[in-house]
Amino acid sequence: MFLSWGFFLLINSIICLLISLYIIYFNKFFIIEYMLYSLMNIEIKLYFLVDWISILFLFVVLFVSSMVIIYSDKYMEGDPNKNYFCVMVLLFVLSMVLLILCPNILMIILGWDGLGLVSYCLVIYYQSKDSYNSGMITVMSNRVGDVAILLSLVFLMNFGCYDMLMYNSINIICGIMIIIAGMTKSAQIPFSSWLPAAMAAPTPVSSLVHSSTLVTAGIYLLIRFSFLFKISLFSEMLFFFSSLTLFMAGVGANLEMDFKKIIAFSTLSQLGLIMMILSLGKMEFAFFHLLMHALFKSMLFLCAGLIIHNMGGVQDLRYLGNFFCYSPMVCGCMGLASMSLFGFPFMGGFYSKDLLLEYVYMSVDNMMYMLLLIVSIGLTVMYCMRMLYYVVWKGIMMSMYYSVDMNKMMTIPIYLLSIVVIMLGNILSWLMFSYEELIVLSNFSKMLNLFLIVFVIKIFYLVYINKMKGYSMGSVYKFLSSMWFMSFLTSYIFMCFYKKMSAVSEYDWMWVEEFGPSSLFKGMSSGSMISQWFQNNYLNSILLIIVSLIMMFLFII
């Protein structure tokens, strides 16, 4: 089942690639429209748009999905719910395809809510209490964006048309709602805590979620509404939150010890970078980096899944190490993905990230933002090198050697992705851009990214290779490593519920109980107590005390 669906998606991705080349070369687009219902000025219709943005993104989504499904055939071997997992992944891909091909706000809700629902089912796949809590945080955080989409739908009803291409300007409140929806789905501050929590899902799902599907839905929505960033209010708001997200994720990744969560923080960091360039109005640059990030991030997750799978499920960096002796090819692919992540010259991510950063250097004149960006880029290089140090080179496992099963169904998708990552960056940089506007920089600004990479690698050598002793930061370390307490703040209500539910019995911790009969009983009890309080004539006494205090205050004045 996995292999047949994987090859089916792979063939369709190749077809989408050929169609995208045709559309880009002849500068065409196609619209399929079918009216379902019309009432006064409101039109409800099936609306599909095939242009260079949607078809290129569809190619990347289908290609990554095909590699993940083929990889999952061996990874999920022995799981009794293997077929259920395959069906859920296919539904996840279908929801993303609907979101991509339907630039109609009414139809986007189908794919938008489908992504939220299926992602919840996949996060709770292992059916433990931790995965259940993570799933609830994920789905409840995304409901904020769903409500914002519904509110924007109500505002757009005034125009009588839900097609995104028909708008050049919209109401400010509606624009804020759309930006909030994009920020929740792409996990920008203050909605960032659900992204590391989604790591409770199986690793192939994490590869799909963090590369080309769930987290990219918000960015894709804002790309379609890119005219919003001509207004300075929207541009400055998104730039501020995205730069904070970029910095916070870089710090968190350097202090994290969970292998998968480090990659999750790197996704958060790159999403902040994409949102930053999108807030400056460069939709093409943001889309280019979005495509390249989807490819090398999915490859990084598949490499991580292979390492965790062969190390007995261990995810703590302190118990990994020396995997290069077991599989040099997989470690080489992991190094390739990591170098693409921090923009090493002539890797796949270099062509998009370097272009993006050079435009930011040219456009932004705020020194605080520039300093924050430069520090964040250095942190990206540092956590990539730190991850390679613990997993590939050194570690507690360095003196132990045993046979590792490298199944072809798990390694071939990684090799195919590595070839695409190496080749596609250069090809897309020529296909997508005409370079009508020049990026004019000084020699120092042009070489700044390369200087940063060399400088941070030198710092890494001093800190990790030479074991330079650092100072304990105490509470500051706790603050920085916990996403600035965002996980606690955004999930405090759910934590209270779970503590109450887990105290009842081992199996009676369903959230339905808390929101259903238990909530009804507590509400009725509180209501009866309030009614009894009024019946005992306490109100007159309190009013008399309040009037006395007011008179005393006036007398003193």
Segment 463-472, tens digit of pLDDT: 766 654 444 4
pLDDT of residue 534: 53
pLDDT of residue 397: 56
φ, ψ of residue 296 in degrees (nearest 5): -75, -25
109 and 68 within one domain: yes
Q: 15 in a domain, yes or no?
A: yes
125 and 60 within one domain: yes
507 and 451 within one domain: no
**How far is 520 from 162, CA to CA, in rounded Å?**
39
* CA–CA distances in Å: residue 246 to residues 5, 54, 81, 226, 320: 36, 26, 37, 21, 27
Residues 323/307, Cβ–Cβ less than 8 Å:
yes
Is 426 in a helix, a strand, or coil?
helix
pLDDT of residue 520: 61
150 and 3 within one domain: yes
Residues 297/337, Cβ–Cβ less than 8 Å:
yes
Q: 496 in a domain, yes or no?
A: yes
pLDDT of residue 319: 79
* CA–CA distances in Å: residue 59 to residues 12, 86, 139, 164, 217: 8, 20, 27, 22, 15
510 and 390 within one domain: no
Residues 207/170, Cβ–Cβ less than 8 Å:
no
What range does the domain containing 483 cover? 471-515
485 and 425 within one domain: no
pLDDT of residue 432: 79
Residues 68/413, Cβ–Cβ less than 8 Å:
yes
Compute the half-sphere exposure of residue 129: CA atoms within 13 Å on the CB side of its CA.
Answer: 13
Q: 537 in a domain, yes or no?
A: no
366 and 268 within one domain: yes
* CA–CA distances in Å: residue 42 to residues 48, 109, 164, 446: 18, 17, 15, 51
For residue 374, the one-letter residue type is I
**How far is 305 from 337, CA to CA, in rounded Å?**
14
Structure-token pair, residue 480: 């920085």
Q: 548 in a domain, yes or no?
A: no
pLDDT of residue 389: 84
Q: 534 in a domain, yes or no?
A: no
**Other residues' Cβ atoms within 10 Å of the Cβ of residue 527:** 10
Residue that is written with structure tokens 């799981």 in the block: 79
> Which residues in the chain land under pLDDT 50?
399, 401, 468-473, 501-509, 511-512
* CA–CA distances in Å: residue 301 to residues 218, 293, 419, 540: 21, 12, 16, 66
Q: 216 in a domain, yes or no?
A: yes
329 and 244 within one domain: yes
Which of these, 205, 402, 417, 420, lies nearest to 330 by C-alpha position?
417
Residues 308/203, Cβ–Cβ less than 8 Å:
yes
pLDDT of residue 507: 43
301 and 373 within one domain: yes
443 and 343 within one domain: yes
430 and 495 within one domain: no
Is 472 in a helix, a strand, or coil?
coil
- Total domains in the fold of the chain: 2
pLDDT of residue 506: 43
* CA–CA distances in Å: residue 129 to residues 260, 506, 507, 519: 19, 10, 10, 21
Residues 333/303, Cβ–Cβ less than 8 Å:
yes
